Structure 1
Amino acid sequence: MHVLIKKLTPPQLLTIGFLIIIFIGSILLTLPFAHQGHMHVSLLDAIFTAVSATTITGLTTLSTATTWTVSGQIIILIMIEIGALGFMTFAVLLFALTGRRLDLKSRLLAQQALNLRSLSDVKSVLRYVLSLSGIIQGIGAILLAIDFVPRFGWLKGCYYAIAHAISSFANAGFVFFKLPFSQFATNPYVLAVTMLLILAGSLGFLVWRDLLMFKKQKRVTLHTRLALVMSGWLIGIGFVGLLISEALAGTFSAHLSWINRVIDTLFIAVTPRTAGLEVISTGNLSTAGLMLLIFLMFIGGTPGSTSGGIKTTTAGILISQVWASLRGQEAVRFGDRQFSKRTVNKALMLAVVAIVFIFLAAFTLSLTEKLPAGTGIEYIVFEVVSAFSTAGLSLGLTPHLTWIGKVIVMIVMFIGRVGLYTVMFSVLDVRAQAKHFEYPEEEVIIG
């Protein structure tokens, strides 16, 4: 066994690690103590829930509040926490508690899991990830408890506050109330706290470290600058676009005050960053609003965060490449820095592979699933993009999936969380090969 582990590459170990967490979680969820007595939970539904929790997606075939007991919900929360922070983070914590040192293989695996460039700061970053996430979730739980305790009582209020602080920070989209999250549509305080938790999780730990150390270092990295600029633009575009589209479509109730409309719209613009919480049913949004949500979900959050999608930095690099090409420039720059050709090619490959992957998954689902009357292809495309970006938003397809559809969506969620690169390199075992020759160049007509 030890020899086999030594032969595996970090991407393969990372993929297998997530599969092991899903396997253990699935088995636990099938046990009688995990689900309520009147509910029948099939193995496939238990696996689907485990995949959704571990990949911090939030798509569910069964209601979380009415299907699972408190024990079952705690199992889901543990999987969400492991999925958000990465199982390697907890492995490092175990190493630290037992006084053992990380070997090179473990450090490489941690580097792969957190998208780090250097091995030198693996252990310090992982400790930082644990402490920062604990502090943010703790503060979030206290702030939510201020509203939840008077509303639900001490025991339920504290439990709901902790559960939703974890779910929001992890961008998991799981709701533990019996009523939908839209019950807070007229509660700006809960929405504001939830949005802050979602943004804290979607920015990424490396960005937070840069920001917290800015006073000492007097600078931030190119990664942080690009992530912050893209995040700001995406939220702004989403907010303005949804404000216009939903006002024209008359989505919001006429009895809703303007301040609630603004905050609800902002919440809808923030949640596609892979959070998956609905302040208004996604099916009630206009066609333009759904298109905007698909765009925002596809991009997602920042690398090294709890978010999915192709990531903000990938989108930023591609936009910079297009802008440079339109101006006839070879170099791709952002501010006073220049991206390497390798980085630009990597971003382009990721975007193209993601589009092809989403198309194939949507095409397969269109063969296996039946569209309800009055719906179009967006019913399937929205669900696939939501699963890939681990957003968890739904137009209602997931609860009605066939067993083949459930398997397809599980695969999409898994690949969306672990990462296309990690899965591809796990399967293909890609290794750089020295090239001792070059082929002659020839022009091809474009456009």
Structure 2
Amino acid sequence: MYWYRGRVNIVKLIKRKGNLVRLHPAQILVIGFGCLILLGTLLFMLPIATYEEGRGLSFIDALFEATSAVCVTGLAVVDTGTTFTLFGEIVLLCLVQIGGWGFMTTGILLFIILGKKIGLKERLLLQDSLNVFSLSGVVNLVKRIIIITFIVELIGAITLAIRWSFDMPLRKAIYYGIFHSISAFNNAGFGLEPDNLSKWVSDPTVNIMITLLFITGGIGFTVILDLFHKRSFRKLSLHSKVALFMTLLLNIVGTLIILLSEYNNSGTIGKLSFDDKLWASYFQGVVTRTAGFNTIDIGAMNLSSLVFMMGLMFIGASPGSTGGGIKVTTFAIIILAFWAVVTNRDEVNIFKRRLPWELVNKSLSIVVAGMFFIFLIFFLLTFTEKADMSKLLFETISAFGTVGLSANFTPDLSPFGRVLISIMMFIGRLGPLTMAFALLNTRKDAKVRYAEEKILIG
């Protein structure tokens, strides 16, 4: 979503040819996701969407749930399994699937089904939505994304259904498998049980399958396709190498930190056997960056664990994936740039490749934009909510990273607080820099270049 500079001439060309679209691609994405959220809000307000006789959700609650679904976050102000009817849950799943793909991918799918021609305008918007470098092959990429999604979700649904058929009736197990497979692959984190996945805290099948689903969805479709075609780490693109390396590193570190921090906490994993502690630590350590599932009580975790998890949620998943955050590649570039500065080097290198400083500047802009939006929403929440700062900040960062984890605070949000968190989820799904482009699309080429002068920093 951040490669606008090279496409300015294309956008101008579209405008000069009298195309109906007069908006910047970032603004179109914002409007598209906003319309999808509004549609979901209206559907959740229908009486048939909830078990509460004669009425659906209130507007604020429906808006929150629709935003959480479209932004594949998983935060919820109502219990999914006991509040929504089958109709409401299907609406939720559809919003999650469309939100995970991106509304442009779904639009292109409809174009393909209807046999419509996909023009330059659609390809340009699709390029922004998928966060890829080139317009070439974006339609074929969409087709592959759809195929990959259905295959992975089908495998997940079958595996989970077989496992859960030992715990519940077969029809319910199949539905549970489908629901949780779609929710996991799209990094949404919605569950049908009041305690999410806590019943299966030590179950190997559930732990492995759910984590494989959201890790696959979180590394990005371009990385998945690169792995499928190259099948060798050495032959992968630099982007794929960095995304995979950082994902593995953060997952290992996350698991170890959660295990050490919560080892003696009787409210989380303290009473579990050592093997069960490993399963719980692994699950919560890798789920934190992307999906909102939990097998332990997040509200009972130590403050040190919550602070560490905030860092992981801020980093998020990989570009072009179903996850949010600043992205693992952005985090890697910032760390590498910092190392280059402190070691007095002129270049930023990784895997025997040099990164352009323009990429470093964009990465820094993403981080600054993300921190600005988080601070703004967090600051406003201190006026509307009566809660500990740690809970407010955790909720804000969870919404920004579209993670969906909560320290048992989401249902207690005030109406204003729910709107603010909804805004934060929206910004997190689109990306902070995309949101900044949409709000401040006033780029003008400088006609005057001023004299250079230094100021003191550090």
TM bucket, shorter chain: over 0.9
Q: SS in structure 1 opposite 2:263?
A: helix
Residue 186 of structure 2 is aligned to residue 170 of structure 1: yes
The one-letter code of the counterpart of 2:426 is F
Query: Could you tell me which of 38, 43, 46 is aligned with 1:31?
Result: 46
Please list every run of 5 or more consecutive structure 1 residues that lacks an aligned counterpart in the other structure: none
Q: Which residue of 2 aligns with 1:428?
A: 440
Query: Could you tell me which of 46, 59, 72 is aligned with 1:56?
Result: 72
The one-letter code of the counterpart of 1:60 is A
Does the CA contact (< 8 Å) of 1:12 and 1:426 recur in 2? yes
The one-letter code of the counterpart of 1:227 is A
Identity score, percent: 38
Q: Which residue of 1 aligns with 2:103?
A: 87
Over 3 Å counting, the alpha-carbon distance change for 1:31 and 1:227 in structure 2 is same
Deviates more, 1:260-269 or 1:172-181: 172-181
The one-letter code of the counterpart of 1:172 is A
The one-letter code of the counterpart of 2:352 is D
Deviation for aligned residue 1:220: 1.2
Q: Which residue of 1 aligns with 2:122?
A: 106
Q: Which residue of 2 aligns with 1:415?
A: 427
Structural mapping, 1:24-423, within 5 Å: 24-38=39-53, 41-215=57-231, 219-253=235-269, 255-371=271-387, 376-423=388-435
Q: 2:323 & 2:412 partners in 1: Cα distance?
A: 26
Over 3 Å counting, the alpha-carbon distance change for 1:178 and 1:399 in structure 2 is closer
Q: 1:195 & 1:215 partners in 2: Cα distance?
A: 21
Q: SS in structure 1 opposite 2:235?
A: coil
Q: 1:224-251 deviations in whole A, cap 9, x for unaligned?
A: 1111111111111111111111125455
Deviation for aligned residue 1:259: 1.4
Deviation for aligned residue 1:294: 0.3
Give the total of aligned pairs: 441
Does the CA contact (< 8 Å) of 1:160 and 1:177 recur in 2? no
Q: 1:332-369 deviations in whole A, cap 9, x for unaligned?
A: 11121111111100000110111121111111101110
Q: 2:334 & 2:232 partners in 1: Cα distance?
A: 32
Does the CA contact (< 8 Å) of 1:55 and 1:414 recur in 2? yes
Does the CA contact (< 8 Å) of 1:308 and 1:388 recur in 2? yes
Q: Which residue of 2 aligns with 1:18?
A: 33
Q: 2:448 & 2:378 partners in 1: Cα distance?
A: 40
The one-letter code of the counterpart of 1:332 is V
The one-letter code of the counterpart of 1:397 is F
Q: 1:49-86 deviations in whole A, cap 9, x for unaligned?
A: 10110000111111111111011000000000000011
Q: SS in structure 1 opposite 2:295?
A: coil
Q: SS in structure 2 opposite 1:6?
A: coil
Q: 1:149 & 1:104 partners in 2: Cα distance?
A: 48
Q: SS in structure 1 opposite 2:161?
A: helix
Does the CA contact (< 8 Å) of 2:74 and 2:188 recur in 1? yes
TM-score, length-scaled by structure 2: 0.93
Q: 1:176-227 deviations in whole A, cap 9, x for unaligned?
A: 1355321111212111110111101110000101111114997211111111
Q: 1:10-42 deviations in whole A, cap 9, x for unaligned?
A: 111111111111111111111111111347621
The one-letter code of the counterpart of 1:266 is Y
Over 3 Å counting, the alpha-carbon distance change for 1:216 and 1:309 in structure 2 is closer
Q: 2:442 & 2:163 partners in 1: Cα distance?
A: 51
Q: 2:22 & 2:447 partners in 1: Cα distance?
A: 28
TM-score, length-scaled by structure 1: 0.95
Does the CA contact (< 8 Å) of 1:188 and 1:260 recur in 2? no
Q: Which residue of 2 aligns with 1:8?
A: 23
Over 3 Å counting, the alpha-carbon distance change for 1:287 and 1:428 in structure 2 is same
The one-letter code of the counterpart of 1:440 is A
Deviation for aligned residue 1:439: 2.5
Deviation for aligned residue 1:434: 3.2
Q: SS in structure 1 opposite 2:51?
A: coil
Q: SS in structure 2 opposite 1:399?
A: helix
Q: 2:168 & 2:456 partners in 1: Cα distance?
A: 66
Q: SS in structure 1 opposite 2:52?
A: coil
Deviation for aligned residue 1:428: 1.7
Q: 1:321 & 1:216 partners in 2: Cα distance?
A: 27
Q: 1:44 & 1:287 partners in 2: Cα distance?
A: 30
Does the CA contact (< 8 Å) of 1:144 and 1:193 recur in 2? yes
Does the CA contact (< 8 Å) of 2:111 and 2:118 recur in 1? yes
Q: 2:348 & 2:269 partners in 1: Cα distance?
A: 46
Q: Which residue of 1 aligns with 2:457?
A: 446
Q: 1:200 & 1:339 partners in 2: Cα distance?
A: 26
Deviation for aligned residue 1:133: 0.9
Q: 2:31 & 2:95 partners in 1: Cα distance?
A: 15
Does the CA contact (< 8 Å) of 1:186 and 1:260 recur in 2? yes
Q: 2:227 & 2:422 partners in 1: Cα distance?
A: 35
Does the CA contact (< 8 Å) of 2:227 and 2:236 recur in 1? yes
Q: Which residue of 1 aligns with 2:3?
A: none
Deviates more, 1:291-300 or 1:254-263: 254-263
